[in-house]
Amino acid sequence: MRVTVLGKSPSYTDAGGACSGYLVEEDDVRVLLDCGNGVFGKMRKFVDYVDVDAVVLSHLHADHFLDLVPFSYALIYAPRQQPVPVDRWPGTDNPARPVLYAPQGAAEVFRRVTGAWGPEDLIEKAFDLREYDQADLLEIGSLRVRFHQVPHFLPNTNAVEFSSTNGGGRLTYGADHSPTEELIDFARDTDLLLIEATLPRPERDGVRGHITPAEAGEHARRANARRAVLVHISDELDTDWAESCATEAFGHPVKVAREGDVYDV
Ligand SMILES: [Zn+2]
Ligand SMILES: [Zn+2]
């Protein structure tokens, strides 16, 4: 399995960056994990969007799904997706229509978003939308996908696991979450843990929804992850500081993800 970082920003984008998006590939299968703002353009540097088999969303916060909008426009309106010849494209009877796995309630959220200026069903027209249940087990080519609910501001937020049925390893993506045993159990002994490190310090009041780099390292250590990488972290936080906090807590080197990083799992 190969994992490419397309964007790792939190809800406010890094300079020149993108919000959450990871390309997961194995053999002939290409899956986009989260599709935050900025991700569609970043993805196109690595893969042709008509070759994406599926998109999997962890939760329905803007920074994890907003680029479904430009992705949908491409799938519906790009000349090469049309049934009749346009310019140098011969026309196609089989335009790409990737499967979109999104949490329960996604269709209603998408309709509210795109209905604000245009057709409510933009995203449903472009993708084969399937609302998943947390207990579902997906098979996408040789990749097996599992979910596990984690505590966050949105109740329906899911950590996502990709495991290879073809000799590759196991990737665990924590999505966004407060400190939680749920992720530690779900990520037990994983090969690669992509874990959020949003905060410079714990929230001062109210319900917790994110964690710090030191807490991320602690989660990785307690999960006995083989490797951990920090994601969902702003370029306004000091990378050296974040990496040293997480490394000390994990007991092994931890890096902040950079766009274009590729991990073999
Ligand atoms: Zn987020
Ligand atoms: Zn979130």
The pLDDT tens digits of the residues spanning 248-264 come to: 999 999 999 999 999 99
How much distance in Å is there from the Cα of 152 to the middle of ligand 2? 7
Calculate how far, in angstroms, residue 176's C-alpha sits from the geometric centre of ligand 2. Answer: 5
Nearest bound ligand to CA 34? Answer: 1
Q: What pLDDT, on the 0 to 100 scale, is given for residue 224?
A: 98
pLDDT at 87: 87
* Separation of CA 254 and ligand 2 centre (Å): 22
Q: What tokens does 17 get?
A: 């960056």
Look-up of token digits 């959220």: 109
Q: Nearest Cα to 36, choosing from 64, 71, 60?
A: 64
CB within 5 A of ion ligand 1: which residues?
61, 63, 176
Tell me which DSSP letter residue 184 carries.
Answer: H
Q: How far is the CA of 174 from the centre of ligand 2 (A)?
A: 11
Distance 69 CA to ligand 1 centre (A): 17
For 85-102, what is each residue's pLDDT tens digit? 988 999 999 999 999 999
Cα(149) to ligand 2 centroid in Å equals: 13
| Contact yes or no for 49/43 (Cβ under 8 A) | yes
From ligand 1's centre to the CA of 21, what distance in Å? Answer: 10
H or E, element range at 25: strand 21-26
* 35-89 tens-digit pLDDT: 999 999 999 999 999 999 999 999 999 999 999 999 999 999 999 999 999 889 9
Kindly state the helix (H) or strand (E) to which residue 170 belongs, with its residue range.
strand 170-173
Give residue 177 CA to ligand 2 midpoint distance, Å. Answer: 8
Q: What is the pLDDT of residue 119?
A: 96
| Cα 9 to ligand 2 centre (Å) | 12
Residue 149 has pLDDT above 90, yes or no: yes
Q: How much distance in Å is there from the Cα of 155 to the middle of ligand 1?
A: 13
Which-ligand-closest: CA of 19? Answer: 1
Q: Pick left, alpha or beta for residue 87 (phi over 0 → left; psi -120 to 50 → alpha; otherwise beta).
A: left
pLDDT score at 261: 98
Arithmetic mean of pLDDT over the chain:
97
Query: Is the pTM of the predicted complex or chain greater than 0.95?
Result: yes
pLDDT tens column, 197-223: 999 999 999 899 999 999 999 999 999
